[in-house]
Amino acid sequence: MIDEKKLVSDAGKGQEYAMEELYRRNRTAVAGLVYRYVGHRQDTEDLLQDIFIRAFSSIGKFQYRPNAGFSSWLRRIAVNTTINFMKKKYRQGRNFTTIEEDIQGPISQGPSIPEKSAISREIQDKVNLGLDSLSPGQRMVFVLKHFHGMNLSEIAGHMGCSEGSVRKQLFRAVEKLRKRLSPHGLGV
C-alpha cells in the first residue's frame, strides 16, 4: 500500500494514478458526509465531482499538520463546497432534502411490513422537514455532530470558525428541530 504523503506529492505533480488512489480511499467518507447533508443522491454525485476537482486543482497548497492529514483537508473542502451549494439552494427557496427510495440506511432497511414502512417513511419525512428549517450552517453543524460523531473542536476546524460559533449554531439547530418536531411526538 502506497503512503498517503507519496500519493499527495505525486498527485500534486499531476500523476493520475495518485489522484485515482486518493479518490478511491476517500470517496466513501466524503460521499457519506455530503449525502447526510443534502439527502439526495444526484446532488451528492454532483458535489463529489466538484469537491475532488477543487481538491486536486489546489493540492499544491495542501500542507500536512499535526493531527490533520489529507482526509481532514478534503473534508474541509467538502464542508465548504456543500455549505455553498446549500446556501444557493436556500436562497432559491428549494427544499434541502429529497429522500430517495433507494437510500441504503436504517429506515429503508427496516421491516418490509407495509404499516411499519409507512410509519418509518412518515417519521423520516418529518425529520427532513425539520432539517429543511435549519440554515445551511446550522444544518452542517447538526449533521457533523449527530451523524458523523464529531466533537465541537473538530467541527470548528472543518468549518473554519470558533467552537463558540459551533456551539451557538448547534444550540439553535436543536431548538428549531425541537419546535418543529415536538407537535409530531418526535423529540430531539
- pLDDT tens-digit series, residues 52-106: 999 999 998 888 777 778 988 998 899 889 888 887 776 665 444 443 333 333 3
What pLDDT score does 107 carry?
A: 36
Rounded percentage of the chain residues whose pLDDT exceeds 90? 24
Tell me the fold of 1-96. Rna Polymerase Sigma Factor; Chain: A (1.10.1740)
Tell me, yes or no, if the pTM score tops 0.75: no
**CB-CB contact of 65 with 38 (8 Å):** no
Pick the CATH number of 110-183 from 3.40.50.300, 1.10.287.1260, 1.10.10.10, 3.10.580.10: 1.10.10.10
- Report pLDDT digits (tens) over 147-178: 777 888 888 887 878 888 989 998 888 888 88
- Domains of the chain, by residue range, sit at 1-96, 110-183
**CB-CB contact of 72 with 157 (8 Å):** yes
Residue with cell 473542502: 77
What pLDDT score does 183 carry?
A: 63
Q: What is the rounded distance in angstroms from the CA atom of residue 72 to the CA atom of residue 62?
A: 11
Q: What is the rounded distance in angstroms from the CA atom of residue 50 to the CA atom of residue 27?
A: 12
